[in-house]
Structure 1
């Protein structure tokens, strides 16, 4: 609770303080996690017990005094004068009461605390309005938390009598209307939280009365339209403004003109697509600007011109296509520039030349075109001493094909310009109707640079070219690389790797609201390791798009930020690096899928594990009912989850006695009948879904998923048809498989496992009894020394084969 930070005002030393030993179950249970802070849970009698105990402790031992009391009460819908009076004499500085049901607070509920309470919280209740009369008597109140209630309006009398309030949190209510004089009594208010309400722009005019605000949170409201100079009234002391998760569409010239001292502005997750010139010309003190998760295509040179004090700029998750020097020209103090997840293919030479001191620069998930024009940016990456290696490694080439997946910072200018001198590029001249043909000659570029260096050497005797080689250019002077730099890097690139003959086939493809999932089958030995270097997605009539795959394994390639049209045909082309035992790339494996639609992911709801109240019908294929009959699962110490699933009722494609034409017809009917039938495999942890995989129906399936090291997990399998859950799933708890095949349950035997142990013990008793009876009947000795004619039973060798916890179940129709 945020109130705990300012209400621990006791004068005793924290190291000497002792938590009050208070526990009177079931009425009250208390604990301490901070000095002078007591957190209790109980029923309606807890206040009486706690209040009496605190008064006694205060009278006896000063080193157990409590400043903040945080109460979670059960079955309390109203706070009365009697309830508040139970805490009188406890000298509390802070009080938090939550029940989830409090709808009413009597006028004199806090009278006994008025002399000491400086912080009051009534969050997570059902209050329909501000309890004005009860608060008016708390003349020392400094902080008030009314978040997560049912408050609809704030009128002119809502906060009367609490003029010393500096912090007010009314987040996550249902406020739509605020009176013009609502905040007028709050003469000292500096922090106001209005996040998660239903406010529109006209309601913000009421903030004019809060002239001393420094921190204002208006995130997750219904604010829409352009962000202009009239959106907010003049607040000369405001420093932090949160406007995230609204629907602002653009930023007008001179926006937020009445906030001259603003330092932090958050516009995350709006619908902004246009930044007009001089959008922030009045925000000269701004140090942090968050424009992430919007729809910005371009940033003009003048739109950020006045932000001379800006330190952090976040433009990630937009649609920027290039980066030039103009928008960043005046941002002299910039240290953090976030550009990940855009459509940036080109970064101008010199775009970041004035920002060599950046400590954070993100460019991953952009389709960078690594040609000669990117040589300046590549050099900047190498020379940026303050950037982390992870930021430098995020600049990965998407095109041209022979450089796809290569680290841009490791490419010399010779490699970037390798094919450029043979390229005839058409550039549209702005004044001509016909395009002007320009031939780029890399040799001329080098010679021009050499001449420039020689001229500089005449003026500066410290810069002298190598006299022994007239073509030598110092890389540290003019930014050009030579073949020596290529040898120093000694980093294998994709064009150096041979193309493997290994075949890959796309087995499954599905999408949901956040990601596209591809599962590829690789025709190679199980010991081989592969990692994805890039995926190209092609849709009819659309330019192919390169998507990052983050070095995923073939069975689990996840693509982020790719929007799928369920009626379109998509072709996925993928490249995998085949790794040797030292995890070094040894070959490239390439493959493409046939054009196909991408199915939507079947939704798995964990709550369907419970037995439905009404019987459900199994999926019927022809005359046969399908159902999952068996699930077996384990987890290896390497984190690989393996699941074997048996589906009862899957018919063979055709009887053997049919003729060829009859078999072909039967095959067609068989495939049609299994259309849209999927086995849904879900992995749950503590009741929450952590992974899911959908596989077309087959009689026997073996499914593997990686990344399962910690547990316990629960593995559930069911059938789904037409994206509707038709059957109750079968669930098991996978075992942890050790390196030598030893089994250890991750969370102990549960439910079925205990039953299986009981059945096994019963069978063992029956077998022992039967053996004893047979021996007695045959009068054989119970023990004897083995004769040499009797060979010992062969001891089975231990093998690392997987062992499974098996569940065989039947379903009622």
Structure 2
């Protein structure tokens, strides 16, 4: 018997064993006592079993484990699952420093676990506490620095979190299953100090929170931020309703995200923007009505997308689907097969690498074209239903015609509009300028008009009669060279008229701009402005002159925002001309700079 290394006593009716019952079996490595009638367990049964590595006492009726040091110091796997344990004391596993796997699950009466029952069990890698009565996280895992797997799922009552720092020392943990533990959103984060329950889990690959009521999931970016190595996140049946842009913000390494079987109505368009390594996204069995155009823009490696059994009616044109997508399931939605969905149907036919299944369950809703109702969307051929949109084309054409008509009308009535805008500007803003104290009556000439000889006919036939009719108060007007002072040299006479005139008007035409004497008059007028610091020049264009043909001095005056008047045959244009002329004749504005000549 001393050579025996395995002993199977399962499925018997053992109710107890004697002290040192296996002491003679010094080479014993595996003992199976499962499915017996043991009510109490005593570590002393295995005194002397120094080689024991695996001990299975599952599916008994064990209520209590006697206190005492375990002499089986080489034990690596211990299974107490499916018993009736009520509590786990502080010294219950003393001596099991090499234990790697401990199974305490399915002890439905287990409600009391001491604060540090696993003290000294530094080699423990796998701890199962699923399907127990109640569990309090109160520094329970502090010594388990090599723990890689921890399952506390399916609690009868709840897991209670004493503080936010429960996983600080479990940096080796790779799988954490807290499914159906009645954990609350407030247990996951501490908003005051901005820390997460998952702080310290730098090696975690899989996190399962399935079946918890996380309806009000905290809208913070630091909840999952410690989990930089996480590959899989399970949030199935968590009663989620909204997915904001913050929740998954720092999970760039995530590959599988399970959000199915919730109550999701809204997903932020930026919720998945940073999940560039995501390959599987499960959103089926929710209440999603629409998906944002850029919802999947950041998920460049997404291969499997499940959207079945939602309330999606259409997919907007321009919606971005991942370039590496291999499977898309959108069945069980209320898709309306009309022209708005036409682009998506075209896309499904060109996306040859994507599998759309099951196709016979992806149907057109009752709001579709009558011939397509309750038929697969792949029977929808948009070219048969969605030709040229006559209403849209007609509407756009009419709009273009209206715009062109209004543009022509505005151009034809441009002088009327300019006149009204000029008057409106004066009425609203007015003008506040430093002006000369003297008025036109203080000068010998109220108006001095200079022009080319060839323009004299226009002056006599048009300007003189108009001035007499519109501005009868102007009695002293010097018209060109014929009103120069007799007995003076020509240039002196020009200076005299300019110096003694309230305003000097220069009529500019194509002929005058090529005349040296006219340019001399213009230069003398500018010199007078520089000497007096008064803006006494009015430029009137008798015809349109190309900008490149204008003399330098004229262009210089215009570049200084010098107002000018344009003679036109249009009646509204004439009204604007005389309104501006009357304004210019009211005052002489003081200038504070010199015009270079």
User: Would you call these one fold, judging by a TM-score over 0.5?
Assistant: yes
Alignment deviations for residues 500-558 of structure 1 (CA, whole Å, 9 cap, x no partner): xxxxxxxxxxxxxxxxxxxxxxxxxxxxxxxxxxxxxxxxxxxxxxxxxxxxxxxxxxx
Cα offset, 1:321, TM superposition: 0.9
Cα offset, 1:296, TM superposition: 1.2
Match of 2:326 among 350, 359, 363: 359
Change (3 A) 1:96 1:384: farther
Q: Of Structure 1 and Structure 2, which has the larger fraction of its residues in helix?
A: 2
Match of 1:95 among 55, 73, 76: 55
Indicate the residue corresponding to 1:232 in structure 2: 197
Match of 1:368 among 327, 335, 345: 335
Cα offset, 1:259, TM superposition: 1.9
Partner secondary structure for residue 295 of structure 2: helix
Partner secondary structure for residue 289 of structure 1: strand
Match of 1:184 among 137, 142, 146: 142
Separation in structure 1 between the aligned mates of residue 160 and residue 347 of structure 2, nearest angstrom:
45
Indicate the residue corresponding to 1:303 in structure 2: 271
Partner secondary structure for residue 102 of structure 1: coil
Alignment deviations for residues 568-612 of structure 1 (CA, whole Å, 9 cap, x no partner): xxxxxxxxxxxxxxxxxxxxxxxxxxxxxxxxxxxxxxxxxxxxx
Cα offset, 1:98, TM superposition: 2.0
Separation in structure 1 between the aligned mates of residue 7 and residue 164 of structure 2, nearest angstrom:
37
Indicate the residue corresponding to 1:119 in structure 2: 77
Cα offset, 1:323, TM superposition: 2.6
Indicate the residue corresponding to 2:234 in structure 1: 266
Indicate the residue corresponding to 2:46 in structure 1: 84
Change (3 A) 1:314 1:350: same
Match of 1:175 among 122, 134, 155: 134
Give yes or no for the alignment of 1:394 onto 2:355.
Answer: no
Change (3 A) 1:171 1:396: same
- Contact in 1 for aligned 2:22/2:49 (Cα 8 Å): no
Alignment deviations for residues 44-68 of structure 1 (CA, whole Å, 9 cap, x no partner): 17978xx879959x7xxxxxxx865
- Map 1:465-484 → 2, pairs under 5 A: none
Aligned-pair Cα RMSD in Å: 3.4
Separation in structure 2 between the aligned mates of residue 323 and residue 82 of structure 1, nearest angstrom:
63
- Map 1:268-667 → 2, pairs under 5 A: 268-355=236-323, 357-388=324-355, 390-399=357-366, 400=368, 401-417=370-386, 421=389, 439-440=391-392
Change (3 A) 1:414 1:297: same
Separation in structure 2 between the aligned mates of residue 261 and residue 195 of structure 1, nearest angstrom:
22
- Contact in 1 for aligned 2:64/2:87 (Cα 8 Å): no
Match of 1:221 among 173, 177, 181: 181
- Contact in 1 for aligned 2:69/2:93 (Cα 8 Å): no
- Contact in 2 for aligned 1:191/1:215 (Cα 8 Å): yes
Partner secondary structure for residue 83 of structure 1: helix
Separation in structure 2 between the aligned mates of residue 392 and residue 441 of structure 1, nearest angstrom:
35
- Contact in 2 for aligned 1:44/1:75 (Cα 8 Å): yes
Cα offset, 1:203, TM superposition: 5.3
Partner secondary structure for residue 271 of structure 2: coil
Match of 2:207 among 241, 245, 255: 241
Separation in structure 1 between the aligned mates of residue 114 and residue 393 of structure 2, nearest angstrom:
73
Cα offset, 1:178, TM superposition: 2.2
Separation in structure 2 between the aligned mates of residue 135 and residue 442 of structure 1, nearest angstrom:
85
Cα offset, 1:167, TM superposition: 1.0
Separation in structure 1 between the aligned mates of residue 145 and residue 250 of structure 2, nearest angstrom:
26
Separation in structure 1 between the aligned mates of residue 24 and residue 316 of structure 2, nearest angstrom:
68
Indicate the residue corresponding to 1:209 in structure 2: 169
Indicate the residue corresponding to 1:105 in structure 2: 65
Separation in structure 2 between the aligned mates of residue 37 and residue 347 of structure 1, nearest angstrom:
64
Change (3 A) 1:245 1:45: closer
Separation in structure 1 between the aligned mates of residue 302 and residue 91 of structure 2, nearest angstrom:
50
- Aligned residue pairs total 379
Where in structure 1 are there 5+ consecutive unaligned residues? 1-21, 23-34, 59-65, 423-438, 445-813
Partner secondary structure for residue 168 of structure 1: strand
- Contact in 1 for aligned 2:22/2:45 (Cα 8 Å): no
Q: Of Structure 1 and Structure 2, which has the larger fraction of its residues in strand?
A: 1
Partner secondary structure for residue 167 of structure 2: helix
Change (3 A) 1:37 1:78: closer
Change (3 A) 1:45 1:273: closer
- Contact in 2 for aligned 1:44/1:73 (Cα 8 Å): no
Indicate the residue corresponding to 2:87 in structure 1: 129
Separation in structure 2 between the aligned mates of residue 47 and residue 245 of structure 1, nearest angstrom:
41
Indicate the residue corresponding to 2:404 in structure 1: none
Change (3 A) 1:365 1:119: same
Cα offset, 1:443, TM superposition: 14
Separation in structure 2 between the aligned mates of residue 119 and residue 415 of structure 1, nearest angstrom:
68
Cα offset, 1:135, TM superposition: 1.7
- Contact in 2 for aligned 1:80/1:109 (Cα 8 Å): no
Partner secondary structure for residue 88 of structure 2: coil
Alignment deviations for residues 615-674 of structure 1 (CA, whole Å, 9 cap, x no partner): xxxxxxxxxxxxxxxxxxxxxxxxxxxxxxxxxxxxxxxxxxxxxxxxxxxxxxxxxxxx
Give yes or no for the alignment of 1:160 onto 2:119.
Answer: yes
TM-score (norm 1): 0.43
Separation in structure 2 between the aligned mates of residue 174 and residue 151 of structure 1, nearest angstrom:
5
Separation in structure 2 between the aligned mates of residue 39 and residue 391 of structure 1, nearest angstrom:
50
- Map 1:767-782 → 2, pairs under 5 A: none
Separation in structure 2 between the aligned mates of residue 372 and residue 37 of structure 1, nearest angstrom:
73
Give yes or no for the alignment of 1:41 onto 2:2.
Answer: no
Change (3 A) 1:148 1:279: same
Separation in structure 1 between the aligned mates of residue 195 and residue 371 of structure 2, nearest angstrom:
52
Bigger RCO of structures 1 and 2 (CA < 8 A, at least 6 apart): 2
- Contact in 1 for aligned 2:179/2:209 (Cα 8 Å): yes
Alignment deviations for residues 84-116 of structure 1 (CA, whole Å, 9 cap, x no partner): 34x937x442222124420111234742x323x
Change (3 A) 1:415 1:164: same
Separation in structure 2 between the aligned mates of residue 68 and residue 440 of structure 1, nearest angstrom:
81
Partner secondary structure for residue 107 of structure 1: coil
Separation in structure 1 between the aligned mates of residue 392 and residue 176 of structure 2, nearest angstrom:
54
TM-score (norm 2): 0.57
Change (3 A) 1:409 1:67: farther
Match of 2:37 among 71, 75, 86: 75
Change (3 A) 1:230 1:335: same
Separation in structure 2 between the aligned mates of residue 73 and residue 393 of structure 1, nearest angstrom:
49
Change (3 A) 1:39 1:403: farther
Indicate the residue corresponding to 1:809 in structure 2: none
